[in-house]
Amino acid sequence: MKIKTFFSLILFFCLFPSLSNSDDTFNPCGIAPGLTYLDPYTLVSNKDFWRDFPPYSENGELNVIVEIPTGRTEKWEVRKSDGALVWDFKKGKPRVLKFIGYPGNYGMIPQTLLSEELGGDGDPLDVIVLGPPIPRGSVVQARLIGVLKLLDGGEQDDKLIAVSLNSPFYKIDTLGELDKKFPGISNILENWFVNYRGPGEMESGGFFGLEEAQLILKKASKQFKRSNARLEN
């Protein structure tokens, strides 16, 4: 089979999964079960990813919407207007990073907002979950351990750091433990985020522990509630 034909078939089964007659063990699209492609650039579920999930699960772990699996470079994100998962466009083309892939599962915390009026970027709070790749569009639980503070053009663009429940990192409770048991990972994270967009684009404010991460999350949750309340009134 020619390579072009092979990838055309993969795209066909991604757009029309009901016709593939396959089970979840074959997932050529790398997406979570239950999602539907409206087109090659839009994924939807029966819930709004931003509004319909709480920031924390019942057992106190983070709820994370995975937008970009570990190792991938395609820049997908949750769209605030309708909670769909969309491939970001830049200069009329779907955005693909010109860098090595994400060093963890990158996503967002539902029902959070870093409002522009308070110095944020106007988007939900970002999180990177350390562990093996998780399919795009998955809603997973992760343990929060800290935060990497970043500025993007002067705007707050913090990245919460969490660990996957099904990984060797799950026993880690703090950034100090991460550095002790897995030396070099925090350096990789900081260097990656500072450099992936090119020199001078991102500025690091360093790592902070669980208490600061929880405070940032609490503020982002309040900003979401205030923003939603204004829209409803």
- Separation CA 11–CA 153 (nearest Å): 36
pLDDT at res. 232: 60
Contact 204, 193 (CB under 8 A): yes
DSSP code of 183? T
Contact 173, 184 (CB under 8 A): no
Q: What one-letter code names the amino acid at 17?
A: P
pLDDT at res. 115: 83
pLDDT at res. 28: 44
pLDDT at res. 18: 43
Residue 30 scores a pLDDT above 90: no
Higher pLDDT, 135 or 230: 135
pLDDT at res. 229: 67
* Strand arrangement, sheet containing 85-87: 36-39, 42-44, 85-87, 76-78
- Separation CA 89–CA 149 (nearest Å): 25
Higher pLDDT, 17 or 197: 197
pTM above the 0.85 mark? yes
- Separation CA 206–CA 226 (nearest Å): 29
Three-class secondary structure of residue 148 per DSSP = strand
**Conformational region of residue 198, where left means phi above 0, alpha means psi within -120 to 50, and beta covers everything else:** left
Mean pLDDT across the chain: 88
CATH architecture of 48-232: Alpha-Beta Complex (3.90)
Copy the structure tokens of residue 75: 């820049």
Question: Each residue of 117-150: pLDDT tens digit?
Answer: 767 788 999 999 999 999 999 999 999 999 999 9
Q: Catalytic site residues?
A: 102
Contact 63, 141 (CB under 8 A): yes
